Amino acid sequence: MRTAALMLSLVPAAVLAQSMPAPVPENEIFKREDIGHALAAPTPEAGHTAPSSANAPPDDGQWTMPSKNYASTRFSSLTEITVANVKSLKPDFSFSLAVNKGQEAAPIVADNTMYVVTAYPNIVYALDLTKPGAPLKWSFAPKPAPASQGVACCDVVNRGGTVDNGKYIFNTLDGQTIAVDVKTGRPLWRTQLGNINKGESMTMAPTVAQGRVYVGDSGGEMGVHGWVAALDESTGKLLWRGYSTGPDSEVLIGADFKPHYAAEQGKDLGVSSWPPEAWKIGGGGAWGWVTFDAELNTLYEGVGNPGPWNQQQRPGDNKWTAGMFARDPATGSAHWFYQYSPHDEHDYDGVNEQILLDMPFAGKMQKVLIHIDRNGYVYVIERQTGTVLSADPYGPVNSTKGIDLQTGRPIMNPDKETKLGETVRNICPTASGSKDWNPSSFSPQTGLLYIPHENMCMDWMSTEVNYIAGTPYVGALVHMKPGPGGNRGELTAWDPVQRKPAWADTENFPIWSGTVVTAGDVVFYGTMDGWFKAVNARTGELLWRYKVDSGIISQPVSYKGPDGHQYIAVLSGVGGWSGAVVSGPVDPRDGSAALGMVNVMSDLPKYTTAGGTLYVFSLPH
Partner 1 sequence: MFSRFPTKWPLWLGFALASGCNNGSHVALPSREPLQLGVIDSAQTPGVGHSLVTIDPRAAAYYNNAEAVNTGKRLFSQYNCSGCHSSGGGGMGPDLMDDVWIYGSRLEQIHQTLVDGRPNGMPAWGGKVPDEQLWDLAVYVRSLSLPQTLAAETDNTPSQSPAPVPPEVDQDAGWAPPPETTNDYTSTIVGPSGPPTPTQATGTN
Q: Which residues bind partner 1 (CB under 8 A)?
A: 1-5, 7-8, 10-11, 15-16, 18, 21, 146-154, 221, 463, 465-466, 468, 470-474, 477, 479, 580, 584-595, 598-599
**Quick one: the chain helix, strand, coil %, rounded to 5?**
10, 35, 55
Q: Which of 190, 176, 195, 185 is nearest to 121 (CA)?
A: 176
Nearer to partner 1, 4 or 255 (CB): 4
CA angle 20, 414, 373 (to 5 degrees): 65
Nearer to partner 1, 152 or 380 (CB): 152
CA distance 5 to 155: 29
φ, ψ of residue 607 in degrees (nearest 5):
-110, -30
Please answer whether residues 462 and 312 qualify as being in contact, where contact means their C-beta atoms are separated by less than 8 angstroms: yes
Q: How far is the CB of 469 from partner 1 (least distance, A)?
A: 9
Q: Which of 305, 318, 352, 438 is catalytic?
A: 305
CA distance 46 to 44: 5
Q: How far is the CB of 597 from partner 1 (least distance, A)?
A: 8
CA distance 291 to 65: 11
Q: Is 33 a catalytic residue?
A: no
Q: Which of 344, 347, 373, 436 is catalytic?
A: 347
Q: Which of 33, 67, 38, 35 is nearest to 368 (CA)?
A: 38
Q: Which of 104, 200, 221, 505 is catalytic?
A: 221
CA distance 172 to 186: 15
Nearer to partner 1, 64 or 122 (CB): 122
Please answer whether residues 383 and 324 qualify as being in contact, where contact means their C-beta atoms are separated by less than 8 angstroms: no
Q: How far is the CB of 476 from partner 1 (least distance, A)?
A: 10
Q: How far is the CB of 616 from partner 1 (least distance, A)?
A: 32
Please answer whether residues 522 and 542 qualify as being in contact, where contact means their C-beta atoms are separated by less than 8 angstroms: no
Q: Is 436 a catalytic residue?
A: no
Residue 429 is classified by DSSP as S
Beta bridge partners of 385: none
Nearer to partner 1, 228 or 586 (CB): 586
Q: How far is the CB of 303 from partner 1 (least distance, A)?
A: 22
Other residues' Cβ atoms within 10 Å of the Cβ of residue 128: 16
Q: How far is the CB of 5 from partner 1 (least distance, A)?
A: 6
Please answer whether residues 567 and 107 qualify as being in contact, where contact means their C-beta atoms are separated by less than 8 angstroms: no
Beta bridge partners of 523: 517, 535
Nearer to partner 1, 129 or 598 (CB): 598
CA distance 496 to 382: 13
| Number of residues that make up the chain | 621
Nearer to partner 1, 479 or 499 (CB): 479
230 CB burial (10 A radius; 0-12, 13-18, 19+): buried
Q: How far is the CB of 122 from partner 1 (least distance, A)?
A: 15
Other residues' Cβ atoms within 10 Å of the Cβ of residue 482: 23
Nearer to partner 1, 152 or 180 (CB): 152
Q: How far is the CB of 548 from partner 1 (least distance, A)?
A: 26
Q: Which alpha helices (H) appear in 77-156, and where do they start and end?
A: none
Pairing of strands 75-76, 516-518: parallel
- DSSP E strands in 187-248: the ranges are 187-192, 207-209, 212-216, 227-232, 238-243
CA distances from 284 to 153, 335, 348, 354, 382 (A): 14, 18, 11, 17, 23
Report the amino acid identity of residue 190: R
Report the amino acid identity of residue 18: Q
CA distance 113 to 596: 40
Q: How far is the CB of 528 from partner 1 (least distance, A)?
A: 17
Nearer to partner 1, 333 or 432 (CB): 432
End-to-end CA distance of the chain: 60
Q: How far is the CB of 251 from partner 1 (least distance, A)?
A: 27
Q: Which of 406, 343, 350 is nearest to 375 (CA)?
A: 350
Q: Is 305 a catalytic residue?
A: yes
Nearer to partner 1, 164 or 436 (CB): 436
Nearer to partner 1, 512 or 559 (CB): 512
Q: Which of 556, 567, 619, 446 is nearest to 78 (CA)?
A: 567
User: Which residues are the active-site residues?
Assistant: 221, 305, 347
